Amino acid sequence: MENTPPAPPHTPAPDAARGRVLVVDDDPTVAEVVVGYLYRAGYAVDRAGDGAAALERFAAARPDLVVLDLMLPAMDGFEVCRRMRAHGPVQVIMLTARGDEEDRILGLETGADDYVTKPFSPRELVLRVESVLRRAGAGAPAAEGARPLSGAGLRLDPVARSASRDGVGLALTLREFDLLAFLLRYPGRAFGREELMREVWGWDFGDLSTVTVHIRRLRGKVEQDPARPRLIRTVWGVGYRLDLPGEGAASEDPEGAEGPEGADRTHVPEDPARTEGMDRTDHPEAPARTAAAPAAAPLPPVRG
């Protein structure tokens, strides 16, 4: 990770700041570098070295976003994230050690908006912060994007940011809401994970397992039986599709597409390198009658 002089002790004036970020990391070197880059990018930055201090800073001055290390003393990042989210929505980017796939997946399932693996490029982290805050702070959508969306008992109001199924409210995170709204706008159309990442997250790069985990979380909230999804379908060799009853959208394999443990057998990843961290139930062995799509070249690592 590249180095840079530490930020001055004072944060930018409120009218000059692009947002307030809380950096939580017990490694002083990492924290100084991250704080320095964010400060120079125009953010007001606060810092904490452990979970207890992070919760105190959070209560004293609610940040727009938290850069949160998972490996903290006494209280880990998962618990810190849960406690912060208990007080209201806040954007969270988690920092994880390279290769800790389970931690990355759990971080997303806890509700993190993004994660970055160590060692990382501070410039990339700044881009991730900008992307998450831009998405969270987007104004009320106009025209088509502002109209209520409904189907299969689901109802979403993009302006009020409210969602329900069969009249019962759904507790969706920011990304889950945006993902479901996007799929509801285009029922019956299959989208690849790269396309969903670009259209919903606003990213042109990133780990595609982010999409997979959010699809799994969303299924758990909108499907009657998440183990046998009938609304958000996996399309083999492509990605995902929202099927609405009566809309003319056919399932991939209505006579046994799901495996014995609820796995949707209509999807197989094109390239194992692109599926690190995927939900293992999303890609069991494919039906022999279907040909795999050609593999896409992996994206090069981003380094500042």
Per-residue pLDDT of the chain (304 residues; tens, 9 = 90+): 555 444 444 444 444 468 999 999 999 999 999 999 999 999 999 999 999 999 999 999 999 999 999 989 989 998 999 899 888 778 899 898 756 667 767 777 776 788 888 888 999 899 889 988 887 765 444 445 578 999 999 999 988 889 999 999 998 887 889 899 999 999 999 999 999 988 887 777 667 888 998 899 899 999 999 999 999 999 999 999 999 986 544 334 333 333 333 333 333 333 333 333 344 334 333 333 333 334 444 444 444 4
Q: What is the pTM of this model?
A: 0.59
Burial 163-200 (b: 16+ CB within 10 A, else e): bebeeeebebbbbbbbbbbbbbbebeebbbbbebbeeb
Is the preceding peptide bond at 8 cis, omega within 30 degrees of 0?
no
CA geometry: angle 43, 47, 52, nearest 5 deg? 140
What pLDDT shows up at residue 278?
Answer: 40
Could you tell me which of 60, 52, 50 has the C-alpha nearest to residue 23? 50
Could you tell me what percentage of the chain is helix, strand and coil, using 3-state DSSP and rounding each to the nearest 5? 35, 15, 50
Residue type, 241: R
């930055």: which residue's tokens? Answer: 45
**Nearest residue to 183 (alpha-carbon basis) of 231, 111, 238, 114:** 231
CB within 8 A of 158, min separation 6: which ones?
140, 141, 145, 146, 147, 148, 149, 181
The whole-angstrom separation of Cα 193 and Cα 211 is 6
Half-sphere exposure of 272 (CA within 13 A, CB side): 2
Q: What are the structure tokens assigned to 228, written together?
A: 């046998």
Question: Closest by alpha carbon to 135, among 169, 95, 176, 96?
Answer: 176
How far apart are the C-alpha atoms of 39 and 12, rounded to whole Å? 7
Edge-to-edge strand ranges of the sheet holding 190-192: 190-192, 239-242, 232-235
In 3D space, the residue among 196, 265, 276, 277 whose CA is nearest the CA of residue 227 turns out to be 265
Distance CA 205, CA 38 (A): 20
pLDDT value, residue 213:
87
Q: Can you read off the two tokens belonging to residue 302?
A: 């981003």
